[in-house]
Structure 1
Amino acid sequence: MRPVSSSLAFSVAAMGIATYSAMDVLMKGLSITSGAYSAVLWRSFVGVMLLGTVFLLKRRAFPGRAALKLHALRGATGGISVLLFFWGLVRVPMAQGVALTFLAPLIALFFAAVLLGETIRRAAILGSVIASLGVLAIAAGEVQAHASTAHVLGSLAIFAASIFYAYSLILLRQQAQVADPLEVALFTSIVLTGLLLVGAWWFAAVPSVAQLSAIGGAAVLGSISAIALAWAYSHAEAQVLAPVEYTAFVWAGMFGWWVFDERVSAYTVAGAALIIAGCVFAIRGTAARAPQTEAAA
């Protein structure tokens, strides 16, 4: 593999995060008009078509049983996470929703201890305390603003999504040992789409003609983000690239204000800062992946 500079890898990763944040805008809009279930289903379906075409053109071999088992488990886990996230994102500002997802890499450290036998370091414990203060700050903002029941439920849904996503990060580590990024992205999406199709008759709506461009755009942006991040992480250490993940908060704040006229409260900014500080403190010296790298799969 041809060596590249860390700054180039960092720049590509930053582009991947910005692209994914733009996809979130389209997905929030689709979730508002037709529900999170439909939005995730049709974006995943088009994503499978795009990634599947690349997979076939490259004449890749079909994955083995061990890889398929991991793809199936992560597709199901990731599916729950994505549905909860976009259901919640309809009800809370984008910046607040993205801030809560930053808990995922921290939660993943504890999952790794239970499932992979990794040692929980003191830094992880202290980092979780700092991040917890951030969650409390965001909650205090909701109390101060007399948040509606829907707003609170949206925040809880995104918090739950972070837990499922943290588990999917553990599965991603295992997938990386047996499959390349293209295979991981494609077959995880196939599983997710297949599971959503089972309930489509009851929970999904047929997209209107006006929605097709947004669905296609979300699928394209998600695929571009996945490729950019996979390339960046193949050329630089995760601990070097981890800070770029938190630029998603800036993009979420900007896009939320521009597209949905959302305002970012001081409580949300303070909470995000504490959560980010806790995560950075907890993963110092480790190669844990940070939040958004997986979601595009």
Structure 2
Amino acid sequence: MSLPAKIPAAGDERSARLAGIGLMLLSVFMFSFGDALGKFIVATYSVGQLLWLRGCAALILLSPVMWRYRGAFRHLERPWLQLLRVMLSTLEVAAFFLSVVYLPLADVITYYLACPIFVTALSAIVLREHVGWRRWAAVLIGFCGVLIALHPSSQTTGWPALIALGGSLAFALLMLITRSLRATADIVLASSQFAGTFALGALLSPIGWVTPSLGSLALFAAAGCISVAALLCGNRSLKLAPASVVVPYQYSMIVWAMMFGDVVFGDVPSPATVAGATIIVGSGLYIFLHERKFGSIAAEVNPPLV
């Protein structure tokens, strides 16, 4: 009598996992599309304008949810740590869009995909977490992938590449802080990040201001809305399926980055970038699967809010 009751439950779980995978793939696509749109915008407008108007659109879209759950904003755990998190989030988004002004989209995404490797290394150094020799080996191999992606040339060894790497490190620190703020509501974490980019953009946008046309304003608004939609899909994906199922699909971002870079901007990834990205993804997946095996995978390893 109990067997028929279990079959629908298994089917429901499978459906939820498939839906979670689909939403994660959609989230990664939208993040990648938003990244490409941002790179297109900063070819004409300043990074400050992009941060300001994109953040404005995102906050307007989130405002009904923020009002509904306004009580979550009244008593925040560890306010100074929340502020540091917002600062790191703002810096990593600014670093991303500043670096894509000068570098191909695939190169910048490659550096950002090294974030799980940085998180593992920083977890041992900052949080004193135990990291075995296998994960340290994966970290070292991943760093080799970063060095290969930074193939020596006048373009990729300059300050734009260093800014991109700095943004990736800031994102890794952001993830570590997010681990210790698990009790904070998702809407607080998300809206505070957009508020940070909005504030920095408002401060920087007068520098090199270019009055946008109506069509450009629509692009700014689209960038904000796409970021919010991507974030919501990613969060929903993690609620429908275990992180160990959906997080590896985030690495499909490099495929979209190469595709958008080639089709939209004519940037053909170099063999060094492809090789470095392959090594980084392989190392990141090994670290992820190793943590999954020992039950220590964290659900907060999300795509960057860019």
TM-score by length of 1: 0.88
Map of 1:170 onto structure 2: 176
Provide the C-alpha distance between the structure 2 equivalents of 1:61 and 1:132, rounded to a whole number of angstroms. Answer: 39
Question: Does the Cα contact within 8 Å between 2:149 and 2:276 map onto a contact in 1?
Answer: yes
Provide the C-alpha distance between the structure 2 equivalents of 1:65 and 1:252, rounded to a whole number of angstroms. Answer: 36
Map of 1:212 onto structure 2: 217
2:145 to 121, 134, 146: 134
Map of 1:13 onto structure 2: 24
Could you list the per-position Cα deviations for residues 205-248 of structure 1 after superposition, in whole angstroms to 9, with x for gaps in the alignment?
Answer: 55443311111111111001000000111222222222111100
Give 1:203 shift. 6.2
Show structure 1 runs of 5+ residues with no match. Answer: none
1:189-208 → structure 2 map (5 Å cutoff): 189-202=194-207, 205-208=210-213
Provide the C-alpha distance between the structure 2 equivalents of 1:122 and 1:32, rounded to a whole number of angstroms. Answer: 44
Map of 2:271 onto structure 1: 266
Could you list the per-position Cα deviations for residues 94-128 of structure 1 after superposition, in whole angstroms to 9, with x for gaps in the alignment?
Answer: 11211111111111122223333321222221111
Provide the C-alpha distance between the structure 2 equivalents of 1:267 and 1:289, rounded to a whole number of angstroms. Answer: 31
Query: Partner of 2:42: helix, strand, or coil?
Result: helix
Q: CA RMSD in A?
A: 2.3
Give the number of equivalent residue pairs: 289
Match for 1:5: what amino acid?
A
Give 1:192 shift. 3.3
1:109 to 120, 125, 138: 120
Question: Does the Cα contact within 8 Å between 1:123 and 1:281 map onto a contact in 2?
Answer: no
Identity of aligned residues (%): 21
Provide the C-alpha distance between the structure 2 equivalents of 1:213 and 1:258, rounded to a whole number of angstroms. Answer: 22
Question: Does the Cα contact within 8 Å between 1:85 and 1:161 map onto a contact in 2?
Answer: yes
Match for 2:52: what amino acid?
L
Runs (4+) off by over 4 Å: 57-60, 203-206, 289-292
Distance 1:138 1:61, change over 3 A: closer
Map of 1:85 onto structure 2: 96
Provide the C-alpha distance between the structure 2 equivalents of 1:269 and 1:99, rounded to a whole number of angstroms. Answer: 9
Match for 1:293: what amino acid?
P
Compare CA radii of gyration and give the structure with the larger one. 2
Show structure 2 runs of 5+ residues with no match. Answer: 1-11
Could you list the per-position Cα deviations for residues 45-88 of structure 1 after superposition, in whole angstroms to 9, with x for gaps in the alignment?
Answer: 22111112222145554341426434322111011111111111
Give 1:173 shift. 1.8
Query: Partner of 2:54: helix, strand, or coil?
Result: helix
When structure 1 is superposed on structure 2, of 15-24 and 84-93 the one drifting more is: 84-93
Provide the C-alpha distance between the structure 1 equivalents of 2:274 and 2:208, rounded to a whole number of angstroms. Answer: 35
